[in-house]
Amino acid sequence: MALLVLVRHGTTQWNEQDLFAGWGDAPLSPTGEAQALVLGQFLARRRFKFDLCHTSRLSRSRRTLELILEGMGNLDIPTDQFWRLNERHYGAQQEKPRMAVAAQYGHRLTIAWRRSYRARPPALKSEDPRWLEQCERFSDVPDELLPRTESLEDGVLRVEPYWQDCLAPQLRAGMCVLVVAHTSSMRGLVRILDGLNDDATEAFRVPTAIPLVYELDNELTRLSSYRLHGDVKSRWRALKSRCKPTWISWM
């Protein structure tokens, strides 16, 4: 039997400032760092042991994993980073306050960029400093694969080669893998694992630093799946994530 544990990174400073993040390298906030460390301690108490760990190449994901492993008391687990696990790209809206974007473009369009499955925000232009910085940071990724903007669907589809070429073979070998990533990349993996349709994929939400656990057989058929809640704060985050978004609810 294989075990897959999916974790969204801890709360970031940009979350607390209500900024669009995407591929921007938002650091964890003190709250997010505490969430990750507590989660690692909780996983240790539950006797989780991982053969491998995967993260995106964004610092909020990498730092969350580092603190989880510190909390578990095991910093020696082999770890790989994958750009395909990055959050969906918010194009020209990255690093901007969400309410300022809504004031400029209207709530209806902003909500579509945020929540609908196929709407894409305006793309980054070639002369944009954010695009130039992205190209430098991901210089090893082929130019034709680097996004300038993405819909939720684009972010989901970007994960599929990672699943097929890397994660699925490891799970078929019976490994226990911890993946620390982002809402959109986790959405893509859950779509594959649970066979979600477009509407269910669009509706998928995940709170910060709360594990989603999958037990799989050798054919990667789901035997069981469940979320782990370690304390009252994590239960509140889980409950909040299930609330239906409104025009004023961006998360």
pLDDT in tens, 132-190: 999 999 999 999 999 999 999 999 999 999 999 999 999 999 999 999 999 999 999 99
Annotated catalytic, 89?
no
Q: What is the pLDDT of residues 230-239, one digit of tens each?
A: 654 555 445 4
107-124 pLDDT, tens digit each: 999 999 999 999 999 999
50: left (phi over 0), alpha (psi -120 to 50) or beta: beta
User: SS3 letters for 1-60?
Assistant: CEEEEEEECCCEHHHHHCECCCCCCCCECHHHHHHHHHHHHHHHHCCCCCCEEEECCCHH
- The pLDDT-based confidence of 251 (bands split at 50, 70, 90) is very low
Out of 54, 66, 87, 89, which one is annotated catalytic?
87
Residue type, position 223, single letter: L
Give pTM, 2 decimals: 0.91
For the chain, the domains span 7-89+163-241
Fold of 7-89+163-241: Rossmann fold (3.40.50)
| 144 included as an active-site residue | no
Which is the catalytic residue, given 9, 54, 89, 182?
9
